Amino acid sequence: ASDDLSELRYDKVCILADADSDGLHIATLICALFVKHFPALVDAGHLFVAMPPLYRVDVAKEVHYALDETELQHILANVPGNKKAQITRFKGLGEMSAEQLRETTMNRDTRRLVQLDMDDMVLTNSVMD
């Protein structure tokens, strides 16, 4: 692969995988692929991992999303005593509706992206070896 990024048509390459441990493993393997075959993309700051939520919490007409168990507990701790929270655990991205996926993972204003750099990749490679 070429290190010349002058013709790059996109600013971000976003890796999207399920929020569970299997999805994390898949994302790690894809990151390793980019480091090995497209290191210039990583060096230039173009590689990102999207962080989809694992939980949806409905409280009355409000909807909250939690990345993990810690965020879920924080949301639940802030639910008023007179309101009931309905918790949904996503089994994977395929279980989300198109609207939920757009809102949580694709929308620039509400998505969570983690930019990866070579320091992250060195750590990933040491774990993979």
Q: How far is CA 38 from CA 5, 12, 24, 63, 73, in A?
A: 10, 13, 20, 38, 39
Predicted confidence (pLDDT) per residue in 104-117, tens digit: 999 999 899 999 98
Predicted confidence (pLDDT) per residue in 7-47, tens digit: 889 999 999 999 988 999 999 999 989 988 999 999 999 99
| Domain range list for the chain | 1-52+112-129
Q: What is the pLDDT of residue 121?
A: 58
- Report residue 87: phi and psi, to 5°: -105, 130
Whole-model pTM: value is 0.81
Domain 1-52+112-129 has CATH 3.30.70.100: no
Q: What is the pLDDT of residue 1?
A: 61
Helix or strand holding residue 40 (H, E) = helix 39-43
